[in-house]
Amino acid sequence: PFVSGAAKVIGLAISRRFVVLGAFVSGWDLYVAAINACETFTHVAEVDVTDVRGVMAATQASIEALGGLHGMVANARISGPTKPVWENAIEEWDRVIDVNLKGPFLCAKHALIQMQKQGSGNIIMVSSLSGIVSNASQASYNASKHGVIGLCKCIAHDHALEGIRANVGCPGSMKDTAMTADAPTLLAHFLYARSNFHSLCSLTSLVAVGDPTPLQVIGSQFHLDSISRENPDVMHPHLAGDVGQH
C-alpha cells in the first residue's frame, strides 16, 4: 500500500503495522527527509496531495516500486485555524478543504484505476472524531472530516462488487500534533460553548488524547474479510482509535 502523511504519528504507526503484517509500504509525505532512511518504507515519495499531477505520478511510482497496489491509506491532513466561522479567511478554508478532502479524493481516484484493473484493493481513509461530533471554532476541519466519511462510504458502495473495500477510521486527538498543541485554546472554546450538546461531546476528542500506537489497528484492515456485497458500507466508530467495517 501507499500511505500519505507517512512521516509522523498516525501515518508512521500505520506504516509500521503494515510492515509487521508483511506488507511493502510506499511512504508519501510533503517532507520526506524524515523517512528517506527509514527501514519501514520500500519506497518514499515527496507528494503534495492537493496536486493532481503529483498524486498521479506518485501513484504510478508506488505501483512500479511495489509491484502492484493492494491498498492505500489517505492520512495526510492539516488542522487549520481555530476561530469562529466568520473570522475564517477564504484562503484558510480552501487550504484545509484542499488537503483534508480533495487530497483523499485524489489519492483514491488514482488508486482505484489500478485496483479496478486488478479486481481487488482496499482503500482506507483517516477521518477524525471531529467527523462525527464537531469541535467548536474549527469549521473547516470539521467539514473536511465529515466529508471524508461521506466520500469513503460512496467509494464502498460504488466498488463493492469489484472486490474493492473502503473503510474509514475516526481517531481522537493524538499526542505531539498541532491539534493538541492548541489544546488550551480549544478547551476554552469548548467550556464557553458548554450549553451546546455537540460541543460537550467534542470534549472527548480533546481530553481523550491518545498515543498513535492503537492506530496501528488500521493496518490490519487488509486482513479483514471483504466488504459485504449485500450491504456495502462503512461503519464510522465512535471511539478514538477504533476502526470498523462490515
Indicate which residues carry an active-site annotation. 141
Task: Say how far apart CA 207 and CA 205 lie, in whole Å.
Answer: 6
Cβ atoms of 28 and 76 closer than 8 Å: yes
Cβ atoms of 138 and 80 closer than 8 Å: yes
Chain centroid to CA 172: 12
Backbone φ/ψ region at 120: left (φ over 0), alpha (ψ -120 to 50), beta: beta
Helix ranges (DSSP H) in 182-220: 183-192, 197-201, 204-207
Cβ atoms of 25 and 18 closer than 8 Å: yes
Helix axes 139-159, 103-118, angle to 10 degrees: 10
Task: Write phi, then psi, for 155 (nearest 5 degrees).
Answer: -65, -40
